[in-house]
Homo-oligomer: A and B are copies of this chain.
Amino acid sequence: MQVYINPAKQTRTALLQRPAIDATALQEKVKQVLNDVQQQGNAALQKYTQLFDGVTLDNFQVSDAEMKEAVQTVSDELKQAIDIAIANITTFHQKQVAAPELIQTMPGVQCWRKSVGIEKVGLYIPGGTAPLFSTILMLAIPARIAGCKEIILCSPPGKNGLLHPAILYAAFKTGVTRIYKLGGVQAIAAMAYGTETVPQVYKIFGPGNQYVTCAKQLVQQQGIAIDMPAGPSEVCVLADETANAAFVAADLLSQAEHGIDSQVLLVSTQEALVQQVQQQIAAQLQQLPRQDIAQKALENSTAIVVGSMEEAIELVNEYAAEHLIISCKNEDAISDQIINAGSVFLGNYSPESAGDYASGTNHTLPTNGFAKAYSGVSVDSFVKKITYQKLTTEGIQNIGNAVIQMAEAEGLQAHANAVKVRLQNL
């Protein structure tokens, strides 16, 4: 961990710099796979699943029998934990449903918005070292609440040609409609274009490696919506003298274990605390199965000590962290001043991992500074808000002249005429 004590103001932006991500270098390779799936459908899916996942599958869709077996395999303890998480995530997201509200902007002019679930959505869950079933909860629960009719899930098969039982249990409990054993670029392609067995979707969600990220960017240019741009996961801890060094160290390590590219930032007004946190990290790191990964991530991480809480807040807003933990005595007052962050954790008993799994908030969040412009996933991400207007004859009489004036000033006579023919008819 690089420690900077009261760095000069003009150097701070450089300290907050994330490593540049450039997925465009992969574009040619990724385009090839996308094109093959678009043109050859299932045959291409089969070819790439053999090549990249090392298994030959005749049928990509998870069968009822596979699902049944998986549900039996998951331990009761894990099931109970998942069920608690589902309950909390559902409670939190349910409140995001907006009922239409009729607004009369002028007498006889009524306007409103209606939220409609995106009819077909695709969720991608990466494979690799850990079965990220928690991400299924974070995507499928809001999708169901939004009213999406078709919720497709793709995740790469293991060497045994199966998905992890916890993945299937989470998908089963959250109402995913079809599950496919497909990974990587070929999964994104299947959902973007559709194949003989995989339905085409209108929006694709979920994390992935740099190939998946590049594929999502490319299909977005072709009109398929995506959840948000991707980047390595990150946490920023803002801590004053009331913070607990052991807790802060544990939080930083929980981010660092994600991957060697994970970003970890500690901002504090207390030099002594930063030292204690470093000691705690060293001690706790020894106990971790993923210590090699965490160690590497920490080598590229930063602690910054500043002279005042005002400066600290400024830094934190400039960084725009995916996860921001505020372990400070005035946590509520400080949180009011936060303008850029994905999800914020307040006080000493709100670790990031609570939100990662079960507090109820969503863990699919903007990384890489994208929190300056993007929100995390919510029910909003799974709906379109269609606007409506209905004018009575009184309404068109009240608004008509304004429309005619503006249309004519923009040189659009036919726009004006659409009002005039109606006024003439009254």
Contact = CB atoms under 8 A, between A and B. Distances in A.
Interface of A: 24, 77-78, 80-82, 84-85, 87-88, 91-92, 95-96, 101, 103, 105-106, 109, 111, 113, 116, 118-119, 129-134, 166, 202-203, 217, 220-221, 223-225, 229, 244, 246-247, 250-251, 253-254, 256-258, 284, 287-290, 294, 331, 335, 338-362, 366, 368-376, 378, 380, 383-393, 395-396, 399, 401-407, 409-422, 425
Contacts of A257: 412-415
A297 to B, nearest CB: 11
Contact of A131 (B77, B380, B395, B410): B410
Contacts of A289: 411, 413
A202 B385 contact: no
Given A88-B106, A372-B202, A373-B202, A386 B417 contact: no
12 contacts: A134-B406, A223-B229, A253-B417, A342-B387, A343-B389, A349-B392, A353-B416, A355-B389, A356-B403, A358-B399, A371-B384, A375-B386
A131 to B, nearest CB: 6
Top-9 shortest CB links A-B: A81-B405, A105-B360, A225-B373, A88-B105, A351-B418, A202-B373, A81-B402, A353-B415, A346-B390
B88 A109 contact: yes
B389 A385 contact: no
Given A105-B91, A111-B361, A78 B393 contact: no
Contacts of A84: 106, 399, 402
A406 B85 contact: yes
A208 to B, nearest CB: 16
Contact of A386 (B217, B343, B368, B391): B343
B389 A346 contact: yes
A359 B389 contact: yes
A119 B339 contact: yes
Nearest to A218: B221
A26 B41 CA distance: 29
B254 A347 contact: no
Contact of A387 (B78, B202, B376): B376
B92 A111 contact: yes
A409 B244 CA distance: 27
Contact of A353 (B87, B357, B407): B407
Nearest to A317: B119
A152 to B, nearest CB: 14
A349 B287 CA distance: 71
Given A373-B203, A402-B80, A402-B84, A391 B343 contact: no
Contacts of A250: 414, 417-418, 420-422
B419 A24 contact: no
A356 B410 CA distance: 11
B134 A410 contact: yes
B284 A354 contact: no
Given A103-B91, A131-B410, A372-B119, A109 B359 contact: yes
A416 B356 CA distance: 11
B417 A354 contact: no
A273 to B, nearest CB: 16
A92 B299 CA distance: 51
Contacts of A119: 339-340, 372
Looking at A366, A383, A385, A395, the one whose CB has the most chain B CB atoms below 10 A away is: A385
Contact of A422 (B203, B349, B402): B349
A370 B223 contact: yes
A99 to B, nearest CB: 12
A347 B399 CA distance: 16
Contact of A421 (B247, B288, B360): B247
A347 to B, nearest CB: 6
B385 A130 contact: no
B414 A253 contact: yes
B356 A415 contact: yes
